[in-house]
Amino acid sequence: MVNPWKDYVKLSTVLMGSHGLTKGSLAFLNYPAQIMFKSAKVLPVMVMGAFVPGLRRKYPPHEYVSAVLLVAGLILFTLADAQTSPNFSLIGVLMISGALVMDSFVGNYQEAIFTSNPNTTQVYLMCFCIQYDA
């Protein structure tokens, strides 16, 4: 073991929660809406990257502008889809949003582990998470 067990438990739990919320949101959202939300994963990754200890990323202004435009497009799509789709619910939006936050935590936390402990290999960390996620 290269890292403490708590790191692996955190990653596995959050990854499991993310997959569960993603699959569960299909009961309340149609598939195109879910894909649209998942494509906006960059937003929570940017926000979470600024707050994860060990990373504290800063982004150039044009990336923030791009993120705001992505949010505006997502809001417009969501509003239009809510009026036309028979399978659309606020619960599904909350579930997929929670999954996106968990996804962003996983990626940023893994990067923080890699930078804090260079002996960690990405293959070992991902195999551990996949093994306990299934």
Instruction: Kindly report the number of other CB atoms within 10 A of residue 34's CB atom.
Output: 20
CA distances from 19 to 10, 24, 27, 70, 105 (A): 14, 8, 14, 23, 13
Tokens, residue 23: 């699959």
Tokens, residue 88: 């659309």
Tokens, residue 131: 């093994």
Distance between CA atoms of residues 18 and 16, nearest Å: 5
Low-confidence ranges of the chain (pLDDT < 70): 1, 53-54, 81-82, 85-88, 118, 120-134
Give pLDDT, residue 34: 83
Sign of torsion over alpha carbons 113, 117, 118, 123: negative
Residue 90: how many CA atoms within 13 Å on its side-chain side? 0
Give pLDDT, residue 16: 92
Q: What pTM did the predictor assign?
A: 0.73
